[in-house]
Amino acid sequence: MINLNPKRRSKGETVQISISRLRAYQLCPQRYYFRYILQAEDEFISSNLFFGSAIHHAIAAFHQSQNTIGSNGMYREFLKYWQAVIEDCNQKQKSIRYKANPEELRDKAYGLCVEYTAAFKDIVASSTDDVELMFECPLFCPESGFGSFEHTLVGKIDLVANGCVYEFKTASRTSSQKDADSSIQLTAYALAYRYLYDQPPDHLFIVNLVKTKKPKIVKLETHRVQRDFGNLIDMATSIARAIENDIFYRNRETQWGCANCEHEKKCLGIRDKNANHKEVLT
């Protein structure tokens, strides 16, 4: 069901915009339009997407148990999430696009669980609240006085432990140091940490869970400076205002690619230009 009457933002209301929505708009504004404005049902689901979500669920379960469930427990949590997605797709008669054989993906997931528990056995969150830590912070930089009081940034930090911030990323290849240094997700995490704890994190890491033939864990350390926060705030407020002004165009050069988009068929059709597109960015 497509919602053609999305909720309007009240005048003077503070608007929340999430990191996932920022990234979605960057990727392709028209894909954003179908997903968040029309709230259109996905035409299919990619196995890469729910593999990553299942691994994140397993990591969260591992740290919420204070690292006690081990690799087998992590893998059981992975399978629980994996099976729930498959059952949901079957119920909704939604197809799954597998990038690899499902059994091969499950084997890689088990290998990642083994590697992860070995690499993170001594990294324990001080409380379960520091696992998938929800945050909301103003898109405003007090040092520079730059930003917007009309918008706040919301998100979820994957893990905070011993003053360190971690982002987990599943992929077929290891991220480069350049990827880590330019990640807006990590910039947002660092900004949020400063607001939550009134100081910068001691260390900032992107953790690659690499789905190679022999799965591996690669940890890259990075840092953020004042300029990075200014760039994030500038980009986030610009995107929020573009969304509020119904600016949605098709990004044909995106690395995602139209053929891999869950809304390709609808996007190729004619959009109702008279529909009310305003939304609250929560």
- In-domain check, residue 211: yes
- In-domain check, residue 193: yes
- For residue 38, what is the DSSP state? S
Q: What are phi and psi of 239, to 5 degrees?
A: -65, -45
- Residue-level pLDDT at 7: 46
- Residue-level pLDDT at 271: 46
Buried b (16+ CB within 10 A) or exposed e, 6-35: beebeeeeebbbbbebbebbeebbbbbbbb
- For residue 5, what is the DSSP state? S
- In-domain check, residue 219: yes
- Residue-level pLDDT at 142: 67
Number of domains in the chain: 1
Q: Which two tokens stand for residue 235?
A: 């980009």
What CATH number is attached to the domain comprising 161?
3.90.320.10
- In-domain check, residue 188: yes
- For residue 237, what is the DSSP state? H
Digit-by-digit pLDDT tens for the chain (282 residues) are: 333 344 444 444 557 889 999 989 988 999 899 999 998 888 888 898 899 999 999 999 999 999 999 999 999 999 999 999 999 999 988 889 888 899 999 999 999 999 999 999 999 998 999 999 999 988 877 677 777 778 889 999 999 999 999 999 999 888 899 999 999 999 999 999 999 999 999 999 999 999 998 999 999 999 999 899 989 999 998 999 899 899 998 887 765 567 778 888 888 774 444 444 444 444
* Domain region containing 161: 128-234
First CA to last CA distance, the chain: 20
- Residue-level pLDDT at 254: 60
- In-domain check, residue 153: yes
- Residue-level pLDDT at 6: 42
Q: Which two tokens stand for residue 194?
A: 């400063």
- In-domain check, residue 57: no
- In-domain check, residue 191: yes
In angstroms, the CA 245 to CA 195 distance is 29
- Residue-level pLDDT at 269: 72
- Residue-level pLDDT at 259: 75
- In-domain check, residue 106: no
Q: Which two tokens stand for residue 278?
A: 């305003």
- Residue-level pLDDT at 57: 97
Consecutive H or E run containing 189:
helix 184-197
- Kindly report the three-state secondary structure assignment for every residue of 148-179: EEEEEEEEEEEEEECCEEEEEEEECCCCCHHH
